């Protein structure tokens, strides 16, 4: 785990422990994807990663697939024949994901692994 339940609640997290376990695993997988798995190989998880985990958990619980399924967005509504349509889900999720990637990138900017490699380095450099 990159973020324990105790650390989560100390940061102000409010979800119950059973829901947190799944949320932490999903957030950890996103961090691993963004950092090429570098955090998993570190001796100690940096504080910036814990803050990024909080951001991911917060966004995912508000805008993730489970949240969208539980509370879909009504895109149109008619009264006479009663008709509701749901839409905008993919747009909201895409916007939230883009914003989240930027936020996590900013939080992890300049943070290096145990070997001095930047966590968000993807192997592309400037000449």
Q: Could you read off the pLDDT tens digit of each residue along the chain, which spans 127 residues?
A: 999 999 999 999 999 999 999 999 999 999 999 999 999 999 999 999 999 999 999 988 876 555 555 555 555 556 666 665 655 667 777 777 888 888 899 999 999 999 999 999 887 654 4
| Residue 46 forms part of a structural domain | yes
78 within some domain: yes
| Residue 66: inside a domain | yes
- How high is the pLDDT of residue 89? 64
CA atoms within 13 A on the CB side of 89: 14
In a domain, residue 114? The reply is: no
Whether residue 63 lies inside any domain: the answer is: yes
Burial of 14 (0-12, 13-18, 19+ CB in 10 A): exposed
Q: Collapse the DSSP code of 35 into the 3-class scheme (helix H, G, I; strand E, B; otherwise coil) and give the result.
A: helix
Which of 58, 56, 55 lies closest to 15, judged by CA?
Answer: 58
Residue 125 lies in a domain: no
Task: Determine, yes or no, domain membership for 53.
Answer: yes
Instruction: Give pLDDT, residue 127.
Output: 45
17: containing domain: 5-108
Number of domains in the chain: 1
Q: Is residue 61 part of a domain?
A: yes
Burial class (CB in 10 A: 0-12, 13-18, 19+), 119: buried
């Amino acid at each position: 785990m990159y973020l324990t339940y105790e650390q989560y609640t100390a940061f102000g997290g409010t979800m119950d422990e059973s829901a947190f376990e799944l949320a932490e695993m999903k957030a950890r997988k996103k961090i691993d994807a963004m950092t090429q798995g570098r955090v998993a190989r570190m001796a100690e998880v940096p504080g910036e990663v814990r803050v990024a985990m909080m951001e991911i958990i917060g966004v995912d619980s508000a805008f993730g697939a489970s949240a969208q399924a539980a509370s879909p967005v009504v895109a149109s509504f008619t009264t006479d024949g009663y008709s509701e349509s749901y839409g905008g889900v993919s747009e909201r999720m895409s916007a939230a994901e883009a914003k989240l990637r930027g936020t996590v990138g900013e939080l992890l900017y300049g943070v290096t692994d145990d070997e001095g490699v930047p966590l968000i380095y993807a192997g592309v450099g400037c000449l």
